[in-house]
């Protein structure tokens, strides 16, 4: 499954939390953040990627205990050519 939001094309994984209302609200706020940003529980990477895309000087780290989420977010960063976001467990 795939969604497009905030100008990002995001591929979703069945074992990863799919963005819902709370995710879209968080992503809206993340677009205004500057500097070094940590997202705990990155899911598919929506908020981290919105933050990284909003300013290429931002350095964003997304973490999740779900390995599928980390892989999904990393893949979405590559798909959207966002080099200043990285993801780990």
Q: Would you give per-residue pLDDT tens digits along the chain (89 residues)?
A: 899 989 999 999 999 999 999 999 999 999 999 999 999 999 999 999 999 999 999 999 999 999 999 999 999 999 999 999 999 99
SS3 86: strand
- The pLDDT value given to residue 73: 98
The pLDDT assigned to 38 comes to: 98
Phi, then psi, of 41 in degrees rounded to 5:
85, 60
Q: What is the pLDDT of residue 1?
A: 87
Largest distance between two CA atoms of the chain: 32
pTM of the model: 0.95
């Amino acid at each position: 499954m795939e969604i497009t939001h905030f100008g990002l094309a995001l591929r979703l994984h069945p074992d990863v939390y799919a963005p819902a209302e709370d995710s879209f609200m968080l992503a809206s706020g993340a677009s205004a953040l500057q500097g070094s940003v940590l997202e705990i529980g990155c899911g598919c990477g929506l908020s981290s990627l919105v933050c990284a895309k909003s300013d290429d000087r931002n350095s964003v780290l997304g973490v999740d205990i779900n390995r599928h989420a980390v892989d999904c977010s990393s893949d979405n960063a590559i798909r959207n050519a966002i080099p200043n976001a990285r993801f780990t467990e």
